[in-house]
Amino acid sequence: MDLGLHGKTALVTGASRGIGLAVAEALADAGVRVAGVARTITPELEKVATATVSADLSTAAGATAAVRSALTELGGIDILINNAGGGDGDKLGLEGVLDIPDEQWRNLFDLNLFGVVAVTRAALPSLIERRGAIVTVSSINAQLPAGGPVGYSEAKSALTAFNKRLSEEFGPRGVRVNTVSPGVVGTAIWRGPDSVGAKLAHANGLAQEQFLDAVPEQFGIASGRITEAGEVAALIAFLASGLAGNIVGADIVIDGGTIKTL
């Protein structure tokens, strides 16, 4: 399917691996000039990106500097993919509200909400001028308040609400804003050695591979398997394209049927 994106430009955050890298690859394959932003630039990202920017997006200064660099390299931004988020698995505790330090709350909100706010605000003038598109990666945890490490679901809920606000304010000015909410995705967040997946496996007394094999049944995933990064990237690329021209303010879930409510 021709997405009609040839010659467009895109800023993709968290682009060095996982969903972000898959998005950068999908957009580059569609003829998009991609600026990939990440804390650590990987060889895989360098292969597909027109430009790469190393930045810590959990700080406002890092976020705005990254957008400035991308604008310089690309000459303008047609598409913004806010993918950076999650958290460092080795730093996330799985204890309850009374036991988690304030630092975890702040870190999760800085990365998953405030960093996105800063990137988006810096990119909006170019997106307005070009009548562009924003796709932000949220999570089904935004709808499951008790799911995930304390602070993560809360930050993702706020992120989804922020993007709904953006769609209302800037949709009439030609900027389409949508969110994509994945369930469990087979990236380093779940499969990595120091990941949340590894911690959950240990907490359940299982080897990590055993735990991941059991996830579809334990989480009630109707498709019987977890989602892969390329599937999320294909959805995001579609939403960024003109083929999705009247999809505005939507939150589209890709979770294999994990969420059971309407």
Catalytic residue positions? 152
The phi and psi torsions of 53 (rounded to 5 degrees) equal -135, 125
Question: Which residues make beta-bridge pairs with 36?
Answer: 12, 52
Residue type, 12: V
Task: Please tell me the distance from the alpha carbon of residue 208 to that of residue 117, in angstroms, as a whole number.
Answer: 34
Q: Measured between alpha carbons, how far is 82 from 76 in angstroms, rounded to an integer?
A: 16
> DSSP for 15-65?
TTSHHHHHHHHHHHHTT-EEEEEESS--HHHHHH-SEEEE--TTSHHHHHH
